[in-house]
Amino acid sequence: MVCFASGVCFLFTPYVFGFEVVAFILLLTLSIIAMFFDILPVLLAALLSALIWDFFFLTPQFNFQVGTTEDKIMLSMYFIIVLVNAGLTYKIRKIEKEAREKEEKEQTLKLYNTLLNSLSHELRTPVSIIIAATDNLMTGSPQLSADDKVSLIHEISKASLRLNFEVENLLNMSRLESGFLKPKKDWCDIAELIYGVLRRSKEQLKAHVLIVHIEENLPLFKIDNGLMEQVLVNLINNAALYTVDGSLIEITAGSINNELVITIEDNGNGFPDDEASKVFDKFYRLKNSKAGGTGLGLSIVKGFVEAHAGKVKLKKSIFGGAKFIIEIPAESSSTIYAS
Amino acid sequence: MSNEEILVVDDEVQIRKLLGITLQSNGYKMSEAATAKEGLETAASSSPNMIILDLGLPDENGHSVLRKLREWYKNPIIILSIQTNEADIIAALDNGANDYMVKPFRTGELLARIRSVLRSSAREENIPVVKHGQLEFDFSSRTIKKNNEQLKLTATQYALLALLGKNEGKVLTHQYILREVWGNGYIDQSQYLRVFIAQLRKKIEDDANHPEYIITESGIGYRFVAKESAE
């Protein structure tokens, strides 16, 4: 950049302006450089520009010798101004960076507090249930009927499964946060994946009407089976948790423009328009949502889909509820091997 | 009930206690060890019928304990692991573990695994005809029947189903199956396996989308189970 500016100046010097103007143009160039580069390259550019100015513009030209005392003073002044300029810009940038880091830290702290609030509720509820129920069982109070005991045991079981689900989500979140999450891609039979998830979530889905539509002859796709399983588990459980019994959940899978497209929609109440853009944010929970859930589920969905370079969108379902669309660009087996 | 002895190697006292109650109430004898060192010593001195080994021990890496045990110990070993890290489980299966359980586990499932590995270690190798549910394997004539009707299988389909059938109850890793059925050059060709499993399910399952014989172990492999009606 210095060479370029000097070159341009050199062409015009004899006709338009003298060497003093060149010094100003070089100074301007250096100021711009200082705004974008680190201190070292700027100092190097400063030195280079001083030498160029001396060599090409100061009389005697094409020589590092400096003629008059005036020119000597000018050259050293030029050099000092450039250095001060570089130093100041560097300092300003450093302060800016510190301010940015501080702001980020505050943001993280705020997020952390939200996390603590929602987590302490979500984790403490099942833990309280387990402690209270086991206390009841251990005191062996004679008023406790056999039926009571069975229902206490059921509550313990339900609470521990809920706890397990939350812990699983937390662990997944920390996998995402660590930044080391790399999908382990392998060939996946999408029908096997979807029906496997439905089998695992059978308990949560028993009061819902399921429709599954998988495109005929859908090829295999190369994806991370475990991550996609978690994506579907979270979306399907969400649909089951936030719609009333008897609601419809439709799951489709197909291939559009070499992308794997999976949709999950329901005929529940859907998401309010003004909140739809925030649902994938970490710890975001709808204003009037019922208890259960830390607000991690959908952000894990987003994180895992994006780890596949894919996209997840929330639309309104034609059934009136929510429709999640997952699009994943993935290698597919266009040929079906039969022998 | 048989009085088989099971050694539990786990550093968590609560897990040992829970397994103790579960195993003893189901007719097994239990011995326990809290460290790898203790576990290796007890295994050598009492020669249990089976070992349940936790991979996360305080004094030694579980994989190295497993390798040491496998130098001489021939009975089944089931791995307990808290990591849902599939690579870890596959490594343990490759190192000679017969099966695995991921914590937290359901005790019913653990007992089923225990029964299954003990049964298969007692099983005689050279039985030509085996029945699993509605399926009948005849290894001598290389035919498989469902409801007494012979299935039309290609050579590869037969090899795959026979391999699964011979290892009833046992989880087989993708790589193991690919090596056994297709050969060493094919262990990365998992798409073959996916396609053939889908084809087999269409032939042997009542509903290929809800398989009851060939169960998917996500990220690990497949497990062939005999339907309960057969037992």
Mean pLDDT (10-residue bins), chain A, 339 residues:
62 62 78 77 78 75 74 80 82 89 83 71 87 88 86 91 86 83 90 93 90 93 92 92 91 93 92 78 65 74 93 90 94 62
Whether A50 and A127 map to the same domain: the answer is no
| Domain membership flag for residue A155 | yes
Whether A279 and A318 map to the same domain: the answer is yes
As a whole number of angstroms, the distance between CA B54 and CA B9 comes to 6
A135 lies in which domain range?
118-178
In this complex, do B218 and A196 lie within 8 Å of one another by their Cβ atoms? yes
Q: Looking up tokens 């995402």, which residue turns up? A: A176
The amino acid occupying position A124 is R
B138, B145 contact by CB (below 8 A): yes
Whether A165 and A196 map to the same domain: the answer is no
pLDDT of residue A51: 78
B161, B200 contact by CB (below 8 A): yes
B36, B60 contact by CB (below 8 A): yes
In this complex, do B209 and A186 lie within 8 Å of one another by their Cβ atoms? no
Whether A275 and A314 map to the same domain: the answer is yes
Nearest CA in chain A to B201: A192
Domains of chain B in start order, with CATH, are: 5-122 (3.40.50.2300), 129-230 (1.10.10.10)
Q: Would you put residue B47 in left (φ > 0), alpha (ψ -120 to 50) or beta?
A: left
Chain A contact probe: residue of B190, B191, B194, B207 with most A CBs at under 10 A: B191
In this complex, do A187 and B199 lie within 8 Å of one another by their Cβ atoms? no
In this complex, do B190 and A164 lie within 8 Å of one another by their Cβ atoms? no
**Cα A306 to Cα A220, A232, A300, B201, distances in angstroms:** 20, 14, 10, 32
Q: Is B44 on the interface with A (CB under 8 A)?
A: no
CB neighbour list of residue A63: distance below 8 Å, 6 or more residues apart: A55
In this complex, do A189 and B194 lie within 8 Å of one another by their Cβ atoms? yes
Nearest CA in chain A to B155: A339
As a whole number of angstroms, the distance between CA B158 and CA B143 comes to 8
List the CATH number of the domain containing A321.
Answer: 3.30.565.10
**Cα A55 to Cα A2, A71, A171, A210, B69, distances in angstroms:** 14, 12, 64, 82, 79
Nearest CA in chain A to B214: A192
Domain boundary among A98, A133, A160: A98
Whether A210 and A285 map to the same domain: the answer is yes
| Domain membership flag for residue A161 | yes
Domain boundary among A159, A178, A197: A178
- CA A22 and chain centroid, separation: 48
Residue from the list A186, A189, A229 with its beta carbon closest to the beta carbon of B198? A189
In this complex, do B209 and A195 lie within 8 Å of one another by their Cβ atoms? yes
| Domain membership flag for residue A159 | yes
Whether A18 and A82 map to the same domain: the answer is yes
| Domain membership flag for residue A336 | no
Helix ranges (DSSP H) in A13-68: 19-36, 39-52
pLDDT of residue B2: 62
In this complex, do A164 and B104 lie within 8 Å of one another by their Cβ atoms? yes
* The model's pTM: 0.72
A192 contacts on B by Cβ (under 8 Å) = 194, 197-198, 216
Radius of gyration of chain B (CA): 19
Q: Is A164 on the interface with B (CB under 8 A)?
A: yes
B44 SS3 class: helix
Whether A199 and A174 map to the same domain: the answer is no
Residue from the list B84, B104, B216 with its beta carbon closest to the beta carbon of A192? B216
Q: B195 vs chain A: nearest CA distance in angstroms? A: 7
**Cα A155 to Cα A125, A145, A237, distances in angstroms:** 12, 15, 20
Q: ipTM value of the model?
A: 0.81
| Domain membership flag for residue A239 | yes
Cβ within 8 Å of A, B 142-201:
154, 156, 174, 190-192, 194-195, 197-199
Nearest CA in chain B to A230: B218
pLDDT of residue A12: 57
Q: A216 vs chain B: nearest CA distance in angstroms? A: 13
**Cα A44 to Cα A83, A111, B80, distances in angstroms:** 10, 43, 61
In this complex, do A220 and B210 lie within 8 Å of one another by their Cβ atoms? no
Whether A256 and A191 map to the same domain: the answer is yes
Pairing of strands A322-329, A259-266: antiparallel
Domain boundary among A98, A131, A159: A98
In this complex, do B104 and A196 lie within 8 Å of one another by their Cβ atoms? no
Residue from the list A184, A196, A336 with its beta carbon closest to the beta carbon of B216? A196
What is the DSSP annotation of A286-325? Answer: -TTPPS---S-HHHHHHHHHHHTT-EEEEEE-TTSSEEEE
Q: Looking up tokens 């045990």, which residue turns up? A: B69
Split into its structural domains, chain A has a count of 3
In this complex, do B190 and A186 lie within 8 Å of one another by their Cβ atoms? yes
| Domain membership flag for residue A203 | yes
**Cα A14 to Cα A9, A11, A17, distances in angstroms:** 9, 8, 7
Whether A172 and A191 map to the same domain: the answer is no
| Domain membership flag for residue A112 | no
Phi and psi at residue B32, in whole multiples of 5°? -135, 155
Residue from the list A199, A226, A337 with its beta carbon closest to the beta carbon of B192? A337
Q: B182 vs chain A: nearest CA distance in angstroms? A: 12
A330 SS3 class: coil
Nearest CA in chain B to A222: B191
Mean pLDDT (10-residue bins), chain B, 231 residues:
86 93 94 95 94 92 94 94 81 92 90 90 77 91 92 94 91 94 88 93 93 92 76 39
B195 contacts on A by Cβ (under 8 Å) = 189, 220, 333, 336-338
In this complex, do A338 and B190 lie within 8 Å of one another by their Cβ atoms? no
Size of interface A-B (CB pairs under 8 A): 46
Whether A208 and A266 map to the same domain: the answer is yes
The encoded tokens of residue A326 equal 């997952």
B168, B226 contact by CB (below 8 A): yes
Secondary structure in 3-state letters for A107-151:
HHHHHHHHHHHHHHHHHHHHHHHHHHHHHHHHHCCCCCCHHHHHH
| Domain membership flag for residue A34 | yes
**Cα B21 to Cα A42, A129, B14, B107, distances in angstroms:** 73, 23, 11, 11
The amino acid occupying position B100 is Y
Q: Is B202 on the interface with A (CB under 8 A)?
A: no
B154 contacts on A by Cβ (under 8 Å) = 339
Whether A156 and A194 map to the same domain: the answer is no
As a whole number of angstroms, the distance between CA B217 and CA B231 comes to 22
**Cα A289 to Cα A241, A242, A264, A281, A293, distances in angstroms:** 10, 8, 20, 15, 9
Whether A68 and A46 map to the same domain: the answer is yes
